[in-house]
């Protein structure tokens, strides 16, 4: 490997890859230690943060990336008290119609509580007395929106 300069950054050139200061390895996050006989490739083709392109620096603009993760919801799910002993209050600050589903999962992913609630009320109480001490995830589903909040039950 030999260091080469590029746009004021330290770049390490190796066999089949480059390591760029502040960016990482151009071979991707999972550089393979074995010989690739299938012909597929892993690689860093573009990197941008908040529409500022950091790699490659040879062209202007941001990277066009399509993924299945939607933007963070503008609505909030408030859960208190946290940690809870007996009762826990859940509040949703969005407007909605129809029904919503509130469910609670333990750390093993098993559903320990579920209920369907109607619109018009944006606050609910959950009885925590039947649950053992531990960490749980509350999931609130309304329409296409899913909000979750991690809570603790302490006895």
Tens digits of residue pLDDT in 44-85: 666 667 766 666 655 555 556 555 555 566 778 899 999 999
Does the global pTM surpass 0.75? Answer: no
Same domain? For 110 and 149 the reply is: yes
- Evaluate whether residue 71 is within a structural domain: no
Same domain? For 46 and 91 the reply is: no
**Burial class of residue 100, CB neighbours in 10 A (0-12, 13-18, 19+):** buried
Edge-to-edge strand ranges of the sheet holding 17-20: 2-6, 9-14, 17-20, 24-25
Residue 63 lies in a domain: no
Which stretch of DSSP H or E encloses residue 47? strand 47-49
Identify the pLDDT of residue 23. Answer: 63
Q: How far apart are CA 138 and CA 131, in angstroms?
A: 13
For 133-154, the pLDDT digits (tens) are 999 999 999 888 889 999 999 9
Using alpha carbons only, how large is the chain's radius of gyration in Å?
Answer: 24
Q: How many CB atoms lie within 10 A of CB 3?
A: 11
Residue 1: which pLDDT band, with cuts at 50, 70 and 90? very low
Does residue 98 carry a pLDDT above 80?
A: yes
C-beta separation of 23 from 12 below 8 A: no
Q: Domain count of the chain?
A: 2
Task: Transcribe 93-148 into DSSP letters.
Answer: -S---SEEEEEEE-TTS-EEEEEEEETT--EEEEE-TTSPSEEEEEEEEETTEEEE
pLDDT of residue 76: 84
Report whether 141 contacts 90 (CB < 8 A). no
Q: What is the CATH number of the domain that holds 113?
A: 2.60.40.3080
Which residue bears the tokens 């959950």?
A: 126
The whole-angstrom distance between residue 142's C-alpha and the CA centroid of its chain comes to 19
What average pLDDT does this structure show over 89-112? 90
Give residue 99's domain range.
77-153
């Amino acid at each position: 490997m030999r260091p080469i300069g590029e746009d004021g950054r330290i770049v390490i050139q190796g066999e089949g890859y480059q390591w760029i200061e502040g960016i990482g390895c151009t071979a991707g996050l999972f550089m393979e230690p074995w010989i690739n006989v299938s012909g597929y490739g892993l690689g860093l083709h573009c990197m941008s943060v908040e529409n500022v392109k950091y790699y490659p620096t040879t062209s202007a603009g941001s990277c066009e990336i399509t993924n299945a993760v939607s933007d963070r919801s503008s609505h909030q799910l408030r859960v208190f008290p946290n940690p809870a002993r007996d009762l826990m209050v859940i509040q949703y600050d969005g407007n909605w119609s129809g029904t919503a589903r509130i469910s609670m999962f333990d750390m093993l992913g098993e559903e320990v509580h579920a209920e369907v609630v109607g619109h018009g009320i944006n606050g609910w109480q959950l009885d925590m007395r039947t649950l053992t001490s531990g960490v749980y995830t509350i999931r609130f589903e309304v329409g296409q929106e899913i909000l979750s909040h991690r809570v603790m039950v302490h006895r």
